């Protein structure tokens, strides 16, 4: 791994999230009364890059923001976390990506995203950016940028022996071209159900879906929130990892926390089962924290 300049390169989305606390998600035609709101820098790619960097990984980001206040906030957030963002471009036409997330008092949430400049990333330039950065043993991708971008970067990375993690979120149909580049597929129960074509609610369901998720060709991890997770390591018997019991403050960003922590453990040489177990503990700590969880979560390592 010493030939690489970074431990992890993340190619993906950057969104400025507007977080709203409310007693429940509004129903159709209802105006729910919230209790507070705040900005939070996010996007699945940005979240994963920040988490891995704050946990100690040498991390770089490939992405795009708009020439606006949201973009300025997103860049500053990457800088504070220590993420190398030289390959985060600024789009002069499209606005920065953003989302509105409503967090219920239970800690569960719903969100709406507007992708903006994330959809304007040039695939060829993104692929070349991986090489310009000097490579990494781990590349992390998600589904919040055009699939052509993911394919271009994955193709470049695979040519250097990099392991490609796809966090297939939001759930969507994946092309065979992209699937062939994936070494590790990470999905939650909703994404697992969509990609496998069968219900996934329990660990037993997740194990039953592994074959349809390509377990014969790659490592597959299905996360189930409080019900734990299932790891299908390539060529091995599926393994169930129970969740760490915690008091949940908010589940927002938990999946991104898990993926960032997973990438760090793998970059440092951990086997997939051990890496998933460590990432699960970190994500559990993350959802139990109310402020700057990325900075505090390192206490459990």
Catalytic sites, residue numbers:
256
Beta-carbon-side half-sphere exposure of residue 112 (alpha carbons within 13 Å): 4
CA distances 231 to 15, 34, 85, Å, are: 29, 38, 32
Q: Is 6 left (phi over 0), alpha (psi -120 to 50) or beta?
A: beta
Q: Report the distance separating Cα 37 and Cα 40, nearest Å.
A: 10
Report phi then psi at 109, rounded to 5: -150, 165
Q: Report the distance separating Cα 135 and Cα 52, nearest Å.
A: 16
18 burial level (CB within 10 Å; 0-12, 13-18, 19+): middle
Instruction: Give the list of residues 6+ apart from residue 211 with CB closer than 8 angstroms, or none.
Output: none
Q: What is residue 116's DSSP assignment? A: G
Q: Which two tokens stand for residue 229?
A: 């997770």
Cβ atoms of 281 and 74 within 8 Å: the answer is no
Torsion angle of C-alpha atoms 179, 184, 188, 190, degrees rounded to 10: 10
Which 3 state secondary structure label does DSSP give 220?
strand
C-beta neighbour count of 106 within 10 angstroms: 11
Cβ atoms of 219 and 233 within 8 Å: the answer is yes
Q: Which residue do the tokens 């967090």 mark? A: 103
């Amino acid at each position: 791994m010493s030939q690489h300049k970074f431990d992890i390169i993340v190619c993906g989305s950057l969104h400025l999230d507007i977080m709203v606390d409310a007693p429940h998600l509004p129903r159709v035609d209802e105006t729910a009364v919230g209790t507070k709101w705040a900005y939070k820098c996010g996007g699945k790619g940005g979240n994963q890059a920040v988490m891995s960097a704050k946990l100690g990984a040498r991390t770089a980001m490939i992405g795009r923001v708009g020439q606006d206040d949201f973009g300025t906030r997103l860049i500053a957030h990457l800088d504070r976390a220590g993420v190398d963002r030289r390959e985060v471009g600024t789009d002069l036409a499209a606005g920065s990506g953003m989302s509105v997330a409503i967090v219920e008092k239970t800690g569960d949430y719903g969100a709406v995203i507007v992708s903006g400049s994330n959809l304007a990333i040039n695939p060829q330039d993104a692929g070349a950016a991986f090489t310009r950065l000097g490579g990494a043993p781990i590349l992390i991708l998600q589904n919040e940028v055009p699939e052509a971008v993911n394919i271009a970067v994955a193709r470049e990375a695979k040519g250097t022996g990099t392991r490609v993690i796809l966090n297939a979120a939001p759930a969507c149909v994946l092309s065979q071209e992209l699937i062939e580049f994936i070494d590790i597929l990470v999905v939650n129960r909703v994404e697992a159900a969509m990609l496998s074509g069968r219900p996934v609610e329990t660990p037993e369901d997740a194990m039953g879906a592994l074959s349809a998720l390509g377990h014969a060709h790659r490592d597959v991890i299905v996360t189930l929130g409080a019900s734990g997770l299932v790891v299908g390591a390539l060529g091995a018997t599926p393994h169930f990892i129970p969740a760490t019991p915690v008091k949940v403050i908010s589940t927002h960003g938990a999946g991104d926390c898990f993926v960032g922590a997973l990438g760090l453990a793998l970059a440092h040489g951990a086997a997939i089962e051990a890496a998933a177990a460590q990432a699960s503990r970190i994500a559990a700590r993350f959802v139990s924290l109310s402020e700057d969880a990325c900075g505090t979560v390192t206490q459990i390592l």
